[in-house]
C-alpha cells in the first residue's frame, strides 16, 4: 500500500471527525461514519491519484455514505433538564459556560438543517473549502453551492437570533 496515502489519511483524521460530527450531530455516529468511510477508502486506495486532494476525496465518500445511511440512522438524544434560574456562581465562569453552551446550541441547529444545506455549510465554513472545491466534492454546480450556502446561513442566523435556548446570562446555575 502507498505510504503517502496512509500518512495523509492519518493527518486528515481530525478533520474527517469534525465533518462527521457536523453531519450527524453525534460523537459516536460521526465516528461510525468516519470508520465506514476509512474502510472504504482503504479498499479503494488505488483509485485515489497522488497529488490530488485527499480531503475532497474523503469528504465525498463520507457524504455519499451519509446519504445512504440516512433512512437507517438512529438519533441519539442527550439528557435535558428543566429550566430554572437561581443563585450565581462567579461571573467569569458563567460567561464562559454560557458561550460554550451557546456553541452547542449552534451545533444543534446545524444538525437540524436540511442535508444538502448542511454539507455545503460544513465544507465551506468549517473545512475551509472554496466554492469550486466544494462543488467538485459534492458534484453539484457552483451556483447550487452558493444558493444552499446562503440559505443555510440565513436560516441558521434567524433561528439563533429567535431562540432563547442557550441564554444563560440572566439565569444562573442552581444546585438541585
Of residues 125-154, which lie at the interface with another protein (CB under 8 A)? 125-126, 130-131, 143, 146-147, 149-154
Nearer to another protein, 72 or 77 (CB): 77
Nearest approach, Cβ of residue 52 and another protein (Å): 19
Cell digits of residue 147: 444558493
Cell digits of residue 150: 446562503
- Does residue 78 belong to the site contacting another protein (CB under 8 A)? yes
User: What residues from 104 to 123 belong to the interface with another protein (CB under 8 A)?
Assistant: 104-108, 110-111, 121-122
Nearest approach, Cβ of residue 161 and another protein (Å): 8
First to last CA, the chain: 57
User: What residues from 54 to 73 belong to the interface with another protein (CB under 8 A)?
Assistant: none
Nearer to another protein, 72 or 83 (CB): 83
Nearest approach, Cβ of residue 49 and another protein (Å): 19
Cα–Cα distance list, 9 to 42, 74, 125, 172 (Å): 10, 27, 21, 44
Rounded Cα–Cα distance for residues 142 and 92 (Å): 44
Rounded Cα–Cα distance for residues 65 and 38 (Å): 11
Cell digits of residue 57: 476525496
* Choice from 44, 103, 115, 141 touching another protein (CB under 8 A): 103
The rounded radius of gyration (Å) of the Cα atoms in the chain is: 19
Rounded Cα–Cα distance for residues 41 and 8 (Å): 12
- Does residue 88 belong to the site contacting another protein (CB under 8 A)? no
DSSP 124: I
User: What residues from 17 to 46 belong to the interface with another protein (CB under 8 A)?
Assistant: 17-18, 21-22, 24-28, 30-31, 34-35, 38-39, 42
By CB under 8 A, the count of residues binding another protein is 80
Amino acid at each position: 500500500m502507498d505510504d503517502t496515502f496512509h500518512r495523509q489519511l492519518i493527518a486528515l483524521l481530525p478533520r474527517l471527525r469534525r465533518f462527521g460530527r457536523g453531519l450527524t450531530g453525534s460523537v459516536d455516529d460521526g465516528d461510525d461514519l468516519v470508520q465506514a468511510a476509512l474502510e472504504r477508502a482503504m479498499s479503494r486506495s488505488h483509485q485515489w491519484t497522488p497529488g490530488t486532494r485527499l480531503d475532497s476525496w474523503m469528504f465525498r465518500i463520507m457524504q455519499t455514505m451519509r446519504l445512504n445511511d440516512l433512512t437507517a440512522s438512529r438519533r441519539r438524544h442527550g439528557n435535558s433538564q428543566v429550566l430554572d434560574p437561581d443563585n450565581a456562581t462567579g461571573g467569569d465562569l458563567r460567561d464562559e459556560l454560557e458561550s460554550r453552551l451557546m456553541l452547542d446550541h449552534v451545533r444543534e441547529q446545524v444538525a437540524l438543517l436540511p442535508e444538502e444545506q448542511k454539507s455545503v455549510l460544513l465544507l465551506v465554513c468549517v473545512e475551509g473549502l472554496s466554492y469550486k472545491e466544494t462543488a467538485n466534492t459534492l458534484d453539484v454546480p457552483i451556483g447550487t453551492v452558493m444558493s444552499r450556502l446562503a440559505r443555510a446561513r440565513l436560516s441558521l442566523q434567524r433561528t439563533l437570533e429567535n431562540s432563547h435556548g442557550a441564554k444563560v446570562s440572566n439565569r444562573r446555575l442552581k444546585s438541585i
